[in-house]
Amino acid sequence: MTIAKASVIFALACKFAAAEGIPVSNPSFETPHLKGPGLNTQNGIPNWPVVFTQAIPGEPSTVITGVIRPEFTTDVPNDGTQLGYINSKSIVELAQPVPATLEANLVYTLSVDFFVQLGSDSVTGEVALCVGTQTQVETCLAVDNSPLPGPATRTVQFLAQPGDPHLGKQLWIKLGKGPSLGTTGSIVLFDNIRLDRNPPLNTSVVLHGAFGSFGIIPGESGRLNALCDGSVMPATCEVTLEFHDIHGVLLNQSHLVMPPGESGFLDLPPDSRGAEPMEIVPVWFLKSGHVVTSFDVFDEDLRNKLFINWGDGSVSKMGQLASGPAFLSRGESARLKAYCDGSVRTSCLADFSFHNERGTLLKQSRLMLPPGTGGFLDLNFEETNSTDRQVKIIPSLMVGEAPAVGGLALIDEATSATITQSYPSTIQSASQR
């Protein structure tokens, strides 16, 4: 069995309060140790037994699990020299209990790095934080079983509230793959399982803000800026700047301490940009002082392509987030976005839709976004069924369960470059006169 090379950067997010790691058995699948590259086992994974399978009608029900040591070690695996894998057309789940029970007033964060074997059918990668007895899973508290278009880190979080009926129960980790209905193979690989617990972010001490997601193409970079403003009160500013990808993976971070009038910035590192367009999320955490933040996108010649100042339009909100009418021209697509504010520790339910000027629905989608992650819905010109050179569209974003940062971008389809990006409009009312 061979594995396709993938270039992707994985990192652990770091907050002001250090997370406490919960031990996981065989988290990087280094057991059993394989003596050389290109080898793999096919008789199960130590500490990761198969706990559930469901065959797909008309498809082979064979399930093979094991560990693999790829023929190369650049980027894949990203932790150690081996990965775990599932080879099956069926739905397959692996699980293990960890030495901890569910406690109140703690945020549990579980992350798994997934890879899809080149040539395999597109499948879903499942990661779940569950509780149960010492011998079996009873209830899953947080689940992500979204599609795997390629390498991806899947992260789920759960805030245990006082009075939760599951308090005191054994914690379990579950991971697996969804069904494969295509004609090619179905091999899902995974690595670097980590489970942390830490107190919720104290928003009365740390102010948090996110610009939402921005599209970056090869040759472009992002720069997150912060100015310590002494006009309100001459106080030293302590601020942390971060870049995440749309799945919540930390790409770069800088902690700044600045006197009034001074400024600093954080650049997106070159080796995190990849060879394909990607969505990044600039985020800041303010511990003291007063700052003004902004975000730049520039090309390899350091020419500015986009500049946005953080303001009320990018504040996390719930309810109907209206962007107002937009005009889409041939050769362009519209991207309606939502970034679930990770400071709330609750998943966001985002309903995306595009209508034409007559109110006819053109496209819609519903996503459940874990805290600190984002999603979007694209509409290209052909999907409007317009015969004109330009068409009016009405983007609509409805956010529930927890607040999210909404955004609308217009994208040049020839280059995938973002032409412009805006935040939801403030709805005007005649009663305000």
**CB neighbour list of residue 334: distance below 8 Å, 6 or more residues apart:** 326, 328, 354, 378, 379, 393, 395, 408, 409, 410, 411
d(CA 82, CA 192): 10
| DSSP assigned state of 33 | P
- Determine the pLDDT at residue 43: 94
| Radius of gyration for the alpha carbons in the chain, expressed in angstroms and rounded | 23
| Structure tokens given for 398 | 């409805």
- Looking at 8-22, 134-148, 217-231, which range is the least confident one? 8-22
- Determine the pLDDT at residue 430: 54
The residue among 21, 34, 29 whose CA lies nearest residue 47 is 29
- Looking at 51-65, 254-268, 313-327, which range is the least confident one? 313-327
| DSSP assigned state of 48 | B
Strands 374-380 and 332-340: antiparallel
Q: Would you kindly state where each structural domain of the chain is located, as residue ranges?
A: 20-198, 207-310, 316-425
d(CA 299, CA 249): 23
Q: What DSSP element (H or E) covers 84? A: strand 83-88
| DSSP assigned state of 135 | S
pTM recorded for the entire structure = 0.55
Average pLDDT, the chain: 82
- Looking at 42-46, 61-65, 102-106, 306-310, which range is the least confident one? 306-310
d(CA 161, CA 17): 19
Domains 20-198 and 207-310 share a fold: yes
- Determine the pLDDT at residue 121: 61
Neighbours of 27 (CB within 10 A): 22
pLDDT digits (tens, 9 = 90+) for 78-130: 678 899 999 988 899 999 999 999 998 888 889 898 887 765 566 788 999 99
- Determine the pLDDT at residue 107: 83
- Determine the pLDDT at residue 5: 28
Ramachandran quadrant class, 75 (left: phi over 0; alpha: psi -120 to 50; beta: rest): left
Residue 394 pLDDT grade (very low, low, confident, very high; cuts 50, 70, 90): confident
d(CA 111, CA 211): 23
CATH class of 207-310: mainly beta
Strands 187-198 and 106-116: antiparallel
d(CA 348, CA 401): 5
Q: Residue 203's beta-bridge partner residues?
A: none
* Dihedral sign computed on CA atoms, order 77, 83, 87, 89: negative
Strands 83-88 and 187-198: antiparallel
At the second CATH level, the architecture of 316-425 is Sandwich (2.60)
Alpha-helical runs (H) found in 142-282: none
d(CA 316, CA 95): 35
At the second CATH level, the architecture of 20-198 is Sandwich (2.60)
